[in-house]
Amino acid sequence: MSYRSGRHFLQIPGPTNVPDAVLRAMDLPTIDHRGPTFAELGERVLDKVRVVFKTEQPVIIYPASGTGAWEAALVNTLSPGDRVLMSETGHFAALWYQLAKRLGLDPELLPGDWRHGADPEAIARCLAEDEEHRIKAVCVVHNETSTGVTSRIAEVREAIDRISHPALLMVDTISSLGSIDYRHDEWGVDVTIAGSQKGLMLPPGLSFNAISQKALVAAREARLPKAYWCWDDMLGPNANGFFPYTPATNLLYGLDKALDLLLEEGLENVFARHDRHAEATRRAVRAWGLELLCADEREFSSSLTAVLVPEGENADRLRQVILDNFDMSLGAGLSKLQGRVFRIGHLGDFNDLSLMGTLAGVEMGLACAGIPHRQGGVQAAMAYLAEEAEGDQAKAREQRRIA
C-alpha cells in the first residue's frame, strides 16, 4: 500500500494505539531469559501488573493472545464434562462458549440480546436451581468488545454470594483492564482473563490470568489436560522472576514501560479519561441522531461505543469510505451484527484531540457515505470536552485558593 501522509487513526477497540515510549522500550536487544538482568525484569513486571488487576494474588503472564488466556482459565480449574454457566453478552462471549465446548466442558449459555450485559438475576436463578452444585464456574465478559456493553461484575458476585453457590467466578477483562475500573480481589473474582493489546497499550502477544486462592485450590483437582497453560509450572519460576519456557522478552520490556505510564497517570485518572471520552462519543452519536447499541445506561462501555446505522444502511460500507477517505480504522459489526453496527474504540493511549479527530472522521464519513444523519455530533462532543476542561481549571484554581 502506498504511503499516506500522517498517522493512521487506529480506532478499533483493540489493538489500540501504543505509546511511542512503549514501542521504543520493546525494540531493545533480547536478553538471556535465564540471567540476572531478566530476573529483575520478571520480578518487576509480575509485581507491578497486579496493581492494574487490583489484586494481591498471583498473575500469570502467557506469551499468547487473549484466546489462550480463556483456554488457560478453563483447563487449569475444570475437568472434562464440568458444567459452566456463561452469559451471552455478544460475539466474544459466544466464542468463549464455543471454546469451552471444544475443550470437553458442558457449558450453558444464558441467552442475551447483545445489547445488555450479563444479567445478575438470571445467573442467580440458574445457580439457585443447581442444588447439586454441578455448575463449577460462572463465566462473564466484563466488557463485551463486540457490543460496547459493560457487565456489572460486583452485582454478579453479590448474586452468587446471596445463594452461597460454590462456583468459581471467571471474568474476561480483555477490553476493560486498564480502561474501566476493575477489582479482582474486592469483587472476589477467581480467574480474571486479560490481554496486552487494549488498555495496557501494548501490541498483541501477551495474555494474563489473575488467580484467587480458591482457583488455586480448584486447580489441584482439575483434570483437563494441560501443559503450556499450566499455572503450577509458572508459579514456581515466577517467584524468582523467571518463566518455565522462553517468555516473550521484548513484549515484557513493553509491559514494564506501559505499566509505568499507567501508574504515572494514575489508574483512577485513566478510568476518568476513558469515561470522559466515552461520554463525549455518546453525545456525538445522539447528536447525529444515531442509536447506541448498548440499551442500558448503567452498562455503557468506556472503552468503545457501538453505533447502529439506520435500517437499510451498511455499516461496513461506511467503514470502508472512512478508511479510504480519512485513513481511520473502525471496528466492524461481528457475526449477527455484521453491517448493522460500527464500533469506535476510544481506549488505550488516547487524548481529547485524537478523539475529536476520530469523531470528525465519523461525521465526515457519514456525509461522504450518504448515510442519513444530523450534523452537530462533533460540536456536541467539543462542548462537553471544553466544559470538562473548564471544570478542571476551576477545580485547580479552587485548590490553589485553598492552599
In the region spanning residues 206 to 235, those forming contacts with its own copies, defined by CB under 8 A, are 224-228, 230
Q: Is 332 in the site for its own copies (CB under 8 A)?
A: yes
Which residue of 49, 218, 358, 373 would you call a contact of its own copies, by CB under 8 A? 358
Instruction: Please report the sign of the dihedral spanned by the C-alpha atoms of residue 202, residue 208, residue 32, residue 238.
Output: positive
Q: Is 335 in the site for its own copies (CB under 8 A)?
A: no
Give min distance, CB of 341 to its own copies, in A.
15
Pick 65 or 314: Cβ nearer its own copies: 65
Give min distance, CB of 158 to its own copies, in A.
31
Q: Is 403 in the site for its own copies (CB under 8 A)?
A: no
Give min distance, CB of 187 to its own copies, in A.
25
Which residue of 56, 102, 164, 312 would you call a contact of its own copies, by CB under 8 A? 102
Which residue of 153, 251, 255, 341 would you call a contact of its own copies, by CB under 8 A? 251
Q: Is 13 in the site for its own copies (CB under 8 A)?
A: no
Pick 57 or 329: Cβ nearer its own copies: 329
Interface of this chain with its own copies, residues 138 to 167, rule: CB under 8 A: none
Which residue of 51, 125, 130, 250 would you call a contact of its own copies, by CB under 8 A? 250
Interface of this chain with its own copies, residues 268 to 287, rule: CB under 8 A: 270, 273
Pick 187 or 271: Cβ nearer its own copies: 271
Q: Can you give the length of the chain in residues?
A: 403
Which residue of 99, 267, 272, 295 would you call a contact of its own copies, by CB under 8 A? 99
Pick 166 or 370: Cβ nearer its own copies: 370
Q: Is 42 in the site for its own copies (CB under 8 A)?
A: no
Q: Is 31 in the site for its own copies (CB under 8 A)?
A: yes
- Could you tell me how many residues of this chain bind its own copies (CB under 8 A)? 110
Pick 162 or 223: Cβ nearer its own copies: 223
Q: Is 312 in the site for its own copies (CB under 8 A)?
A: no
Q: Is 344 in the site for its own copies (CB under 8 A)?
A: no
Residue 302's alpha-carbon distances to 147, 164, 226, 250, in angstroms, are: 12, 31, 35, 29
